[in-house]
Amino acid sequence: EPAAGESGAAPRIVLGSNQYGKAEVRLVKVTRDTARHQLEDLSVTSQVHGDFEAAHTQGDNSHVVATDTQKNTIYAFARDGVGSPEEFLGRLAAHFTTGFDWVSGGRWAAEQYFWNRINDHDHAFAKDKSEIRTAVLLAADGRTHLVSGITGLTVLKTTGSEFHGFPRDRYTTLAETTDRILATDVTAKWRYADGADLSGLDFNAVYASVRNLLLDAFAATHSLALQQSMFEMGKAVLQAHPEIDEVRLSLPNNHHFLVDLAPFGVDNPNEVFFAADRPYGLIEAAVLREGTEPQSPVWNTIGGFC
Amino acid sequence: EPAAGESGAAPRIVLGSNQYGKAEVRLVKVTRDTARHQLEDLSVTSQVHGDFEAAHTQGDNSHVVATDTQKNTIYAFARDGVGSPEEFLGRLAAHFTTGFDWVSGGRWAAEQYFWNRINDHDHAFAKDKSEIRTAVLLAADGRTHLVSGITGLTVLKTTGSEFHGFPRDRYTTLAETTDRILATDVTAKWRYADGADLSGLDFNAVYASVRNLLLDAFAATHSLALQQSMFEMGKAVLQAHPEIDEVRLSLPNNHHFLVDLAPFGVDNPNEVFFAADRPYGLIEAAVLREGTEPQSPVWNTIGGFC
Amino acid sequence: EPAAGESGAAPRIVLGSNQYGKAEVRLVKVTRDTARHQLEDLSVTSQVHGDFEAAHTQGDNSHVVATDTQKNTIYAFARDGVGSPEEFLGRLAAHFTTGFDWVSGGRWAAEQYFWNRINDHDHAFAKDKSEIRTAVLLAADGRTHLVSGITGLTVLKTTGSEFHGFPRDRYTTLAETTDRILATDVTAKWRYADGADLSGLDFNAVYASVRNLLLDAFAATHSLALQQSMFEMGKAVLQAHPEIDEVRLSLPNNHHFLVDLAPFGVDNPNEVFFAADRPYGLIEAAVLREGTEPQSPVWNTIGGFC
Amino acid sequence: EPAAGESGAAPRIVLGSNQYGKAEVRLVKVTRDTARHQLEDLSVTSQVHGDFEAAHTQGDNSHVVATDTQKNTIYAFARDGVGSPEEFLGRLAAHFTTGFDWVSGGRWAAEQYFWNRINDHDHAFAKDKSEIRTAVLLAADGRTHLVSGITGLTVLKTTGSEFHGFPRDRYTTLAETTDRILATDVTAKWRYADGADLSGLDFNAVYASVRNLLLDAFAATHSLALQQSMFEMGKAVLQAHPEIDEVRLSLPNNHHFLVDLAPFGVDNPNEVFFAADRPYGLIEAAVLREGTEPQSPVWNTIGGFC
């Protein structure tokens, strides 16, 4: 007799891949060992994989580590410090995959938000909203796959960007240009080499380094296409960080259209622009070391990509 | 000589998978053949795959079908009607994959927004914001993979939901309950069978049917776990729609916490609730026909899943 | 000696108008007297006015009814039912202005969200996101001022809208049109007559009626300007509801631009449009009964208006 | 005969205050006189007041300066530079109130977004999203009323905040505390003295100064109530800036709740917090020089206040 789904000639309907947990646990950790406090601010998501079929097919929760329990665990673990999102997710993954026989893996993710001291004050901070740090850790088949990232980093060049030489078909009306504004919101995700020993890595330092490499490559590249800027950004990261095997970037082309002031008898030599909302270009790619596994399973859990 | 990236002992840095195009093209199509107008409202995204390496590594745009051209094509094609998001994406995919030698495939996606007539008026409408219809079409390796969906459909049961029998560990504090509010925002994506002949399918009718099946299954299932409700929702769709091979659901558990009124000398027999924002449970699964390919490549482009 | 602020020749710096409380208290009330449950879903804000100077100037909280207490009061009062946002705010206002000597008034506000039964189910609902009901009650100087409203109601006419005859100056490039799409997101606020006896009024019925009057007037008006449609909408409400003295409307003109398909050899007889995000027109006015007080103090607390 | 509205015994229905224009004109201005480019990024709203009754009651647009024309004017004026939001709005106000006989005034508003150079690069910038600068200029009755502001500035103290001594009634459950996190999103608006000569004022310098004064006062104040911090913030601005007569602040109390780790056998000496979304406290006040007009008409157009 089928345990789940339909009997008879038709194929049974069965449970496929599944995961569950608690999302966006807002965690603020203050370290106050000295009068000069430290502040860590994260949103943490925990989802486990394993044998949860009975919950789906029969409402049997005997395997269901409650999402509330996952939330509690996040807060309890934070008492010992966060350190970095990557390390913190690693501790969660180790706990859940070793603590319950039927939990085979999971997906843990975090966003980190930054704060700067107000005039070097010991315990007063102002939030830096200009970027968000991200991390995703997938534990599957006895292995862990780690992707760190940055998102929401908006950059713009007022010159040093061209776009021409593209094919023209029946539907092409775009004019070529040798000087345009190039603007984008950087979302970058870098995958650490599978099997690499990351135990001694200073993830916070890597983050700071990658962030600067991305910014510098964007600024320094005289761009003939946003694709070119994107590739240079990914390449700069891989050249400097042997522990990273792949960088995926998703870059909207935030169009800034030159306003036609001629009807008003006014020229406009690339000075006055309309910043459009939608539609926008969307340019995405993976940049990786030759020979590395191009389709790590962690990407399937992130998506939005090719 | 390496075409792209680094020479020397270290592995070259190369371009991996990539896609680009125009995102969120806001298209409103009025059909006014008669005095009783029809209204279609979509946000369409077009991204192409193929040989775009030179653009990335050298800024050579000779293969780069401009994102502006992709936008123009969307609007030009809409002149002949939309019909359904699925059919419209199919027309775009056929155009781009046959019109340019170096375009091997792509990813086309749409959101559709609904409008109802104001008191049966011929040309006045009010927007129905209660749900968004989605579609994603992936063309890769000479095949197309089609996923339709719904998102933002928020549902709630005031009773008929229990949660108990879950394991209790050191970090478990949640009380068991035999009567709770169950609320979620339904995101469902259904994958049409690869290779099925969909040419005669009425996608609009399928959407209406799936939507109702999801709602009915949510309402009818006496829920012992959100996982159980989710599985029943997916199963109902597959039972009624042989052309669909898989349903993926992503269901936040929108917690409604009973407010403790005892300090005020007031009872609260499941009447007054605090609707929390974050954190929330997040329950996700694939429900599929046994024997179907469980990891269609289209899922990798959607993500957020296991 | 100055109680607050600076001494000396310069004018003292003093506390002006002030208010404080708890905002966006998410309240879900289930009425389960019978098996056919009722559901009310609100976001309630409570702010009090009065003598709170010592809290501001000296950190003396002896007058500060804690915002947490205001939240608790909202939940406790909900145990006896909500009924309508307007009545519920009235109960809160009466409580706070009579319960504390130093509380002279306040501002209470609510949003209400709607749910429809799923196929007439007794306890399963789907959220209707197409509009939000609002209410603001100001208690000041021993009087109450009540404004009800609707927001987020998006409407569109595919024809029956013209715009021409406007003045042309150096900066005018807009073409005249006798047939355009007219679309807006209706935010309307109606002020009940000061001093009117509202004790027997069915506010839920008024809301339903006003909503329909606004929709019908928008649909029925052949529009030569969005201003004209707006005035007709307000007038329709006032004609039908003698208990209402004033309607204020804030209507964005959600531009839908006809796409120029001529470069592709395709005509476009008002069929294919680009729905723009920003900028948008913004048309606002008060429609009121002659002789009524045009500047009720409640409007100062709502703002965004002239 | 009534010009507008209803005849008969009932009061006529008439047009009250009204305004219209173009909202959120996204303007990016590049100044490229030298290789070291300057970047200004704003969202500008223009709304005019005056004799527009015929448009409302008859659809007669002969007075309606098109919102598209207002948009064009904004872009044309930007060709000569922006300088500061306040100056730019002043130029718009002067143009519209002098250029059309029937325009008696209006409301002009702007948001400004900040960008920092990437590593001191001449033409590459990264957006600073940590705050938004605002300005509102009201021209009415032959006078102008100017309010500058900041919004979205999120600040937090990890200690140095107490809350106790508040009254306890039937609905009070909140515990007193002598050490809590204090966090808020600063929205401040400062009103320049009516009639002051602002022609030589460096508004950019004032903005920088006010911003620092607000931050320093928040950091330096040992807080017994958010009201106290708020008052000190406003007072610091007025003490340093004689040209400013009033500061209004709207400060949410972004609650950070200490997580109870005791069930897990773990202490929590103010180290691990849950950052809540809703509800939140909302604390608002005007701080002003004694003797100044407490209710400038410009506040009515901003609202959200008492």
3-state DSSP assignment of residue D112: strand
Sign of CA dihedral C243, C245, C250, C255: positive
Tell me the pLDDT tens digit for each residue of D249-271: 999 999 999 999 999 999 999 99
- What local confidence, expressed as pLDDT, does residue B305 receive? 62
Contact partners for chain D, using 3 or more CB pairs closer than 8 A, are: A, B, C
The tokens of C160 are what? Answer: 């029956």
Q: Which of A67, A69, A151, A158 is catalytic?
A: A67
Tell me the pLDDT tens digit for each residue of A232-271: 999 999 999 999 999 999 999 999 999 999 999 999 999 9
The tokens of A194 are what? Answer: 């599978």
Chain A touched by B189 (CB under 8 Å)? no
- What local confidence, expressed as pLDDT, does residue C306 receive? 52
Tell me the pLDDT tens digit for each residue of C175-217: 999 999 999 999 999 999 988 899 999 999 999 999 999 999 9
Cα–Cα distance measured from residue C244 to residue C251, given in angstroms and rounded to the nearest whole number = 20
Is the domain spanning B16-141 CATH 3.40.50.2000? The answer is no
- What local confidence, expressed as pLDDT, does residue A137 receive? 97
Helices B226-240 and B203-220: crossing angle, nearest 10°? Answer: 140
pLDDT band at A127 (very low <50, low <70, confident <90, very high): very high
Angle at A37 between CA C67 and CA A212, to 5 degrees: 110
Query: With 50 as the cut, is the pLDDT of residue A155 above it?
Result: yes
Query: With 60 as the cut, is the pLDDT of residue C2 above it?
Result: no
To the nearest whole angstrom, how far is the Cα of C7 from the nearest Cα of chain D?
Answer: 11
Distance in angstroms between the alpha carbons of the first and the last residue of chain A:
40
Low-confidence stretches of chain B (pLDDT beneath 70)? 1-9, 304-306
Chain B touched by D262 (CB under 8 Å)? no
What is the ipTM, given to two decimal places?
0.96
Assess contact for C115 and C123: CB atoms under 8 A: no
pLDDT band at A4 (very low <50, low <70, confident <90, very high): very low
To the nearest whole angstrom, how far is the Cα of D43 from the nearest Cα of chain C?
Answer: 9
Fold of D1-141: Urate Oxidase (3.10.270)
3-state DSSP assignment of residue B41: strand
Assess contact for C125 and C285: CB atoms under 8 A: no
Assess contact for D78 and A274: CB atoms under 8 A: no
**Chain C interface test: which of A168, A169, A171, A256 (most C C-beta within 10 Å):** A171
Q: Please tell me which residue of chain B has the smallest CA distance to A228.
A: B56
- Does the distance separating the beta carbons of B127 and C32 come in below 8 Å? no
Phi-psi region of C101 (alpha: psi -120 to 50; beta: other; left: phi over 0): alpha
For residue C263, which residues of chain A lie inside 8 Å, CB to CB?
173
Chain A touched by B190 (CB under 8 Å)? no
Cα–Cα distance measured from residue C177 to residue C165, given in angstroms and rounded to the nearest whole number = 10
Of A170, A264, A278, the CB nearest to C171: A264
Q: Which of residues 62-81 of B touch C (CB under 8 A)?
A: 72, 75-76, 78-79
B120: CB partners within 8 A, 6+ apart: none
Chain B touched by A141 (CB under 8 Å)? no
Element (H, E) at C67: helix C67-78
Cα–Cα distance measured from residue C27 to residue C40, given in angstroms and rounded to the nearest whole number = 8
- What local confidence, expressed as pLDDT, does residue C293 receive? 78
The tokens of C120 are what? Answer: 């007439």
Chain D touched by C256 (CB under 8 Å)? no
Q: Is the peptide bond before C279 cis (omega within 30 degrees of 0)?
A: yes
Element (H, E) at A88: helix A85-99
Low-confidence stretches of chain D (pLDDT beneath 70)? 1-9, 304-306
- Burial bucket for residue C200 (CB in 10 Å: 0-12, 13-18, 19+): exposed
Q: How far is CA D200 from CA C306, D77, D142, D196, D203, in A?
A: 28, 20, 21, 11, 9
Q: Which residue has the tokens 């979304």?
A: D277
Assess contact for B231 and A67: CB atoms under 8 A: no
3-state DSSP assignment of residue C230: helix
DSSP C5: S
Mean pLDDT of A157-182: 98
Cα–Cα distance measured from residue C275 to residue D61, given in angstroms and rounded to the nearest whole number = 24
For residue B14, which residues of chain A lie inside 8 Å, CB to CB?
287-290
Active-site annotation holds for B22:
yes
Per-domain boundaries in chain D: 1-141, 149-306
For residue C278, which residues of chain A lie inside 8 Å, CB to CB?
277
DSSP B193: P
Is the domain spanning B142-306 CATH 3.10.270.10? The answer is yes
Chain B touched by C222 (CB under 8 Å)? no
Pick the CATH number of C149-306 from 3.10.270.10, 1.10.1740.110, 3.40.50.300, 1.10.101.10: 3.10.270.10
Q: Please tell me which residue of chain B has the smallest CA distance to A77.
A: B171
Q: What percent of chain A has pLDDT over 70?
A: 96
Element (H, E) at C211: helix C203-220
Chain C touched by D256 (CB under 8 Å)? no
Assess contact for C129 and B129: CB atoms under 8 A: yes
C1-141 and C149-306 in the same fold: yes
**Chain C interface test: which of D67, D97, D147, D292 (most C C-beta within 10 Å):** D67
Assess contact for B193 and B148: CB atoms under 8 A: no
Tell me the pLDDT tens digit for each residue of C215-225: 999 999 999 99
Of B173, B264, B277, the CB nearest to D263: B173
Cα–Cα distance measured from residue A91 to residue D268, given in angstroms and rounded to the nearest whole number = 19
Assess contact for C29 and B273: CB atoms under 8 A: yes
Residues of C forming the active site:
22, 67, 255
To the nearest whole angstrom, how far is the Cα of B268 from the nearest Cα of chain A?
Answer: 22
Q: Is the peptide bond before B279 cis (omega within 30 degrees of 0)?
A: yes
Chain B touched by D168 (CB under 8 Å)? no
To the nearest whole angstrom, how far is the Cα of A199 from the nearest Cα of chain D?
Answer: 25
The tokens of D194 are what? Answer: 């009516």
Assess contact for A131 and A152: CB atoms under 8 A: yes
- What local confidence, expressed as pLDDT, does residue B1 receive? 33
Mean pLDDT of C222-250: 98
- What local confidence, expressed as pLDDT, does residue A303 receive? 76
- What local confidence, expressed as pLDDT, does residue D7 receive? 47
Among A227, A233, A151, A149, CA closest to A192: A149
Assess contact for D186 and D150: CB atoms under 8 A: yes
Mean pLDDT of A66-78: 98
Q: Which residue has the tokens 């500035």?
A: D153
Among B278, A36, A39, A133, CA closest to D156: A39
Average pLDDT score over chain A: 95
Tell me the pLDDT tens digit for each residue of D16-27: 999 999 999 999
Cα–Cα distance measured from residue B92 to residue B272, given in angstroms and rounded to the nearest whole number = 50
For residue D292, which residues of chain C lie inside 8 Å, CB to CB?
11
Contact partners for chain C, using 3 or more CB pairs closer than 8 A, are: A, B, D
Cα–Cα distance measured from residue B132 to residue B137, given in angstroms and rounded to the nearest whole number = 17
- The residue length of chain D stands at 306
Q: Which residue has the tokens 């929590």?
A: D268
Sign of CA dihedral C81, C84, C89, C90: negative
- What local confidence, expressed as pLDDT, does residue D293 receive? 78
For residue B171, which residues of chain D lie inside 8 Å, CB to CB?
264
Assess contact for A214 and A188: CB atoms under 8 A: yes
Chain C touched by A169 (CB under 8 Å)? no
Chain A touched by B301 (CB under 8 Å)? yes
Contact partners for chain A, using 3 or more CB pairs closer than 8 A, are: B, C, D
Chain A touched by B227 (CB under 8 Å)? yes
Amino acid residing at B194 = D
For residue A262, which residues of chain C lie inside 8 Å, CB to CB?
none
Cα–Cα distance measured from residue D37 to residue D121, given in angstroms and rounded to the nearest whole number = 9
Q: Please tell me which residue of chain A has the smallest CA distance to D126.
A: A155
Assess contact for B252 and B185: CB atoms under 8 A: yes
Contacts 24+ apart (CB under 8 A), D258-267: D259/A75, D261/A75, D261/A76, D261/A79, D263/A72, D263/B173, D264/A72, D264/A76, D264/B170, D264/B171, D265/B170, D266/A76, D266/A79, D267/A79
At residue D276, what are phi and psi to the nearest 5 degrees? -85, 155
Cα–Cα distance measured from residue D126 to residue A196, given in angstroms and rounded to the nearest whole number = 33
Cα–Cα distance measured from residue A30 to residue B211, given in angstroms and rounded to the nearest whole number = 46
Angle at B68 between CA A233 and CA B134, to 5 degrees: 90
Cα–Cα distance measured from residue A169 to residue D285, given in angstroms and rounded to the nearest whole number = 61
To the nearest whole angstrom, how far is the Cα of A296 from the nearest Cα of chain D?
Answer: 31
